Amino acid sequence: MTDSDPALHADADTTLHEDRLWRDDGWTARVIKNEDDDGWAVEMIKDGEAEPALTGPWTMGRDKKNPKPLDPNAFRTLVKTASEVLRRHEQQRHAMLHKDFTVRADGEDVTVTLDIVPDEDDPYADLRALDSFGALLAQVRVSAGFKLTKTSAQAWVDNDFRKPD
C-alpha cells in the first residue's frame, strides 16, 4: 500500500478489515514492511492526521516470511496504545505551554496562569490572574519567553497587574 492508495483515504465512517489494513473506530492500522530489517511493522493513524501516532514492530506469520494478519483483539490493543501515546504527547505539550501558581493578595488566593501561544510568526503568552472562584482579575499579553515563577507571579499581583517588563 502507498499513501496514494484510495483505501487509506476513504470516508472516515468506512469500516475496513483486511489482513494488513484495518479501519475502524476513527483509526487505521496498516501493516508495512519494516525498512530497518526483514520484518514487519504496524502503524496506527488517527483519522484526519497525516502522520502515524504509533509505529511499532509487527509479528511474523507462521511461514516466517509474511506478517501475521490483523485481528479484532490486536486492533483494539493497538488503538488503546496509540490513544495513550497521543494523550501523553498532549499532556507534555500542555505542560510545556501552561504554567500556574497560586499566590496571596490582600488575604485572598490569586491564581496566576501563563499560556504560551506558539504562533510561528508571532509567538506570545497570555498572563492571567484569577480569583478563588475562577473570575478573571487581570490579563496581559507578554512575550513567549516570559518566565513565570512564584516570585514573578507575586510581583505581578503586588504591582497591581501592570504589564511586566
Q: What are the pLDDT digits (tens) for 96-137?
A: 899 999 999 999 999 999 999 988 899 999 999 999 999 999
Does 10 reside within a domain? yes
Cα 77–Cα 33–Cα 3 angle in degrees, nearest 5: 85
Tell me whether residue 61 is in a domain.
yes
- Average pLDDT of 13-17? 84
Domain boundary among 24, 51, 70: 70
Give the domain extent around 114: 97-158
> Which is it for strands 124-130 and 27-33: parallel, antiparallel or unpaired?
unpaired
- Mean pLDDT for the chain overall: 90
Residues 56 and 103 in one domain: no
Is the distance from CB of 125 to CB of 144 less than 8 angstroms?
yes
Convert the pLDDT of each residue in 33-91 to its tens digit.
987 777 899 999 999 999 999 999 999 888 888 899 999 999 999 999 999 999 999 99
The verdict on residue 18 lying in a domain is yes
pTM over 0.75: no
Count of domains in the chain?
Answer: 2
